[in-house]
Amino acid sequence: MKKGKCICPGCPSFVECKQLAFCFTGKSKCIKKEKGCLCMGCPVQIENGFKHGYYCTKGDEKTLAK
Binding site for ligand SF4 (CB under 6 A): 6-8, 11, 13-14, 21-23, 31, 37-39, 42, 44-45, 50, 53-56
Chain centroid to Cα 19, Å, comes to 10
Q: Find the shortest distance in angstroms from Cβ 36 to ligand SF4.
A: 7
Q: CA 24 to CA 43: how far, in whole Å?
A: 14
Q: Find the shortest distance in angstroms from Cβ 65 to ligand SF4.
A: 13
Please give the backbone phi and psi of residue 50, each rounded to the nearest 5 degrees, phi first: -70, 150
Q: Find the shortest distance in angstroms from Cβ 34 to ligand SF4.
A: 6
